[in-house]
Amino acid sequence: MNKTEARRQKKRKKKKMQQAQKIQHEKCINKTDMVSHTINPNTTLLQQAIAHHQAGRLQQAEYICREIIKVEPENANACHLLGVIAHQAGRSDIAVQLISKAIEKDPGQHFYYSSFGNALKKQGKLDEAIKSYRMALTIKPEFAEAHSNLGNTFREQGNLDDAIKSYQTALSIKPDFAGAHSNLGNAFREQGKFRDAIKSCRMALSIKPDFAEAHNNLGEALREQGNLDDAVKSYRMALNIKPDFAGAHSNLGNALKEQGKLDDAVASYQRAIAIYHDFPDAYYNLGTVLQDQGKFEAAIEEYRKALRLNPDHEKARYNMRFLFSRLVPSWHFSMMNDSKRNEAYDRVIRKIVREDSLVLDIGTGSGLLSLMAVRAGAKQVITCEAVPLIAEKAKEIIRLNGFEKAITVLNKKSTSMKVGKDMPDRANILIAEIFDAGLLGEGAIQAIQHARTHLLTYDARILPKEAKVFAFLIESQELFEESHVEMASGFDLSLFNEFGFHRIQKPIQSFSYRSISDVFEVFSFDFAGELIRNEQMKIEINACTDGTCHAIVFWFRLHLDDEIFIDTGPQNEDTHWMQMVQFLKQPVKIKKNELITVFAKHNRNQISLEIK
């Protein structure tokens, strides 16, 4: 091609672009369904698209970008902006494709990699997102937004220390970066550093007073600190600025729920859902309030809505199955008659109680452990029981045994208790026996950690001290049929499996089973140590025999102190605790010596084990 022909082609391309710009500008002015604001005709099409995007008019911005690409397919900026718009619209798969193309066309743009990281993060590809943010920072080390995005990704991984470092780096580059201050506050809050969290959120608001998200984040920090009144004020401030902020409505509902204002909480959750129909946590939260109000059928419906939107919403599934079961707590009797458990607790209580001991007993039940503490010489025992009927019966039992002056029974959850109101001072001994067969199902971690922060002295003795979880793989058709059905008398009953449990509590020694693996340790929880966080891991084990794996069975060893422990494993038949049987979705054939990967996780409320 000679120079003359090249110039001609360039002129034709420029003329074509100008024609497209003119046509597009006319469309932007005349098509009121597409554009509600006129744009200066002297700006380029890309500038028009950017202006629409910054104003929140995503449909118009997308339309213009597509027109640009029709004329100029290699326009990387237009391709990138289309990807950003797709990401904002929730189409992360399309966003990844488009931004990836932009990077191919122009790999030197730092902000492309940051946008690419955002899209990958939305897909849950956190490691890949981190690589993309780091690529952006390789090109432009002083890119504060990429440092902040990197921090967000670390935080989602649970790597709070690195998240905080990233936010602080962003702020060293851009001290007035309100978003990074707010995100830093979230990380501090998740570390339990509420004062630092509140300080960071307030710094964000000093820079940007109308920052609704920062008001919401401040509310979260205040709520977790126990300052519910100020938390409610912060959520309402966020909603005054941004009335359609669904997350703030839901969080306000959480605070109102904790204040005992259940009807107001219901109204807040319903507003959140009206704004954002695909909000699984709002449905779940609404379900919990309805459940608290005794409206079980309505609660189940809300849990189902949450699960339709998020099939992996473990809390909603757990609560729904709990309500399906309509459990009557008959296990109280086997617990009270568990002589090994009673003896172990009594021995440790006698070792640690002194005449000046102020004891907090979480989970009164019959009042047995409180009675033991007073008999051991405790000056006073404050005990709490959430179930009204049980709390009243415990008072009668304590009165019957003549200790009503030394033991105070409160009908409330420990997380609602306050020093100076419910107890005269911080307790120096904590007794807690709120462990189900799966260890965490009764909220033990949250109750103990809340007590350590708000109700105990810094050097309080905690009973139990720690717990370890163990498991093994089993083959047992008999156990599998405890929560699963296919054919019966020639009829297909498999639809009834909707009501089946994916896990059950059973004394497995009462059933026919075969071990397919040796026992392995899963988790260890130090109740007196550092803040316990969500955890997940992979555990590799070798099958010890051929067989069909129907379930993973797990149990715990409760260390009351350094010497005395209670083991709930199947080899110990003299304990009221049963083992937790977690069924596989489908039985799996396994060969001897085969390497099996067990995926273990807990969210501080429930332990989950599975083979994929």
Rg, the chain, Cα only: 30
3 state SS of 600: strand
Given this model, what pLDDT does residue 591 score? 96
Kindly give, in sequence order, each residue whose CB lies less than 8 Å from that of residue 81, ignoring residues fewer than 6 positions away. 46, 49, 50, 53, 61, 65
Which amino acid would we find at residue 465? K
**Running DSSP on this structure, what letter comes out for residue 464?**
S
**Same domain flag for 470 and 459:** no
Distances from the Cα of 176 to the Cαs of 166, 200, 215, in angstroms? 15, 12, 17
Q: When comparing pLDDT for 71 and 543, which is higher?
A: 543
What band does 34 get if pLDDT is binned at 50, 70 and 90? Answer: very low
Residue 609: its H or E element = strand 607-611
Domain-embedded: residue 32: yes
User: Average pLDDT, whole number, for the chain?
Assistant: 90
Q: What tokens appear for 198 in the block?
A: 């509140």
pLDDT at 415: 95
Q: For residue 401, what are the CA distances in angstroms to 136, 266, 395, 405, 535?
A: 71, 42, 10, 11, 43
Please count the other Cβ atoms lying within 10 Å of the Cβ belonging to residue 338: 18
Is 95 among the domain residues?
no
- Domain membership flag for residue 198: no
**Confidence check: pLDDT of 20 > 70:** no
71 falls in which pLDDT band (50, 70, 90)? Answer: confident
Residue 316 CA: distances (Å) to CA of 280, 283, 325, 481: 9, 9, 14, 24
Query: What pLDDT does residue 577 have?
Result: 93
- On whether residue 570 sits in a domain, the answer given is yes
Same domain, 606 and 507: yes
On whether both 376 and 452 belong to a single domain, the answer is yes
pLDDT in the model for residue 39? 36
The DSSP string of 414-446 is GGG--BTTTBSS-EEEEEE----TTSSTT-HHH
pLDDT for 15 beyond 60: no
Indicate whether 447 and 503 sit together in one domain. Answer: no
**The pLDDT value given to residue 300:** 87
- Give the pLDDT of residue 136: 92
pLDDT over 80 at 198, yes or no? yes
Mean pLDDT of 416-431: 97
pLDDT at 516 over 80: yes
Q: What DSSP character marks residue 366?
A: T
pLDDT band of 73, cuts 50, 70, 90: confident
Whether residue 522 is found in the same domain as residue 606: yes
Tokens 């390497």 belong to residue:
595
Residue 19 has pLDDT above 60, yes or no: no
Residues 320, 338 within the same domain: no
Last residue of a domain, one of 277, 302, 326: 326
Confidence of residue 6 (pLDDT cuts 50, 70, 90): low
pLDDT at 293: 94
pLDDT of residue 259: 95
202-206, 333-337, 387-391, 407-411: segment of lowest average pLDDT: 387-391
Q: What is the pLDDT averaged over residues 265-281?
A: 96
Name the percent of the chain lying above pLDDT 90.
74
**In this predicted structure, what is the pLDDT of residue 327?**
41
The confidence score (pLDDT) of residue 237 equals: 97
Q: With contact defined as beta carbons under 8 Å apart, do 65 and 81 qualify?
A: yes
Q: Establish if 98 belongs to a structural domain.
A: no
Q: Could you tell me the pLDDT band of residue 201, with boundaries at 50, 70 and 90? A: very high
Together in a domain, 602 and 508:
yes
Q: Which among 278, 300, 326 is the end of a domain?
A: 326
Tens-digit pLDDT profile for residues 538-596:
999 999 999 999 999 999 999 999 999 999 999 987 889 999 999 998 899 999 999 99
Q: CB–CB of 216/196 below 8 Å? A: no
Q: Considering only 8-22, 180-194, 259-273, 433-447, which range has the smallest mean pLDDT? A: 8-22
pLDDT 10s digits, 335-356: 999 999 999 999 999 999 999 9
Is 124 inside a domain boundary? Answer: no
pLDDT higher than 70, residue 83? yes
Hey, how many other C-beta atoms are within 10 angstroms of the C-beta on 586?
7
Count how many domains the chain has: 4
Residue 9: predicted pLDDT = 56
Same domain, yes or no, for 458 and 381? yes
If asked whether residues 474 and 589 sit together in one domain, one would say: yes
Average pLDDT over residues 45-55: 86
Please compute the mean of the pLDDT values over residues 127-141 and round it to a whole number.
93
The share of the chain scoring above pLDDT 70, in percent, equals: 92
| Residue 602 clears pLDDT 50, i.e. is over it | yes
Residue 251 has pLDDT above 80, yes or no: yes
90: left (phi over 0), alpha (psi -120 to 50) or beta: left
Residue 452 inside a domain? The answer is: yes
Give the domain range for residue 408: 334-463
What pLDDT sits at residue 47?
A: 87
How much is the pTM? 0.55
> Region 45-54: what's the mean pLDDT?
86
pLDDT band at 5 (very low <50, low <70, confident <90, very high): low
Cα dihedral sign for 459, 461, 462, 468? positive
Task: Give the domain-ending residue among 24, 40, 73.
Answer: 73
Q: What is the pLDDT of residue 326?
A: 60
Task: Give the pLDDT confidence score for residue 27 in this predicted structure.
Answer: 32
Domain contains 419: yes
Minimum mean pLDDT among 29-43, 105-119, 210-224: which range? 29-43
- The whole-number pLDDT of residue 89 equals 85
Q: Residue 327 and residue 322: Cα distance in Å, rounded? A: 7
Residue 388 clears pLDDT 80, i.e. is over it: no
495 pLDDT above the threshold of 70? yes
CATH code of the domain containing 421:
3.40.50.150
Q: In this predicted model, what pLDDT tens digit does every residue of 138-168 receive, in sequence order?
A: 999 999 999 999 999 999 999 999 999 999 9
Indicate if 364 and 485 belong to the same structural domain. no
Q: Are residues 353 and 389 in the same domain?
A: yes
Please give the pLDDT value at position 92: 85
CATH of the domain at 252: 1.25.40.10
Residues 353 and 317 in one domain: no
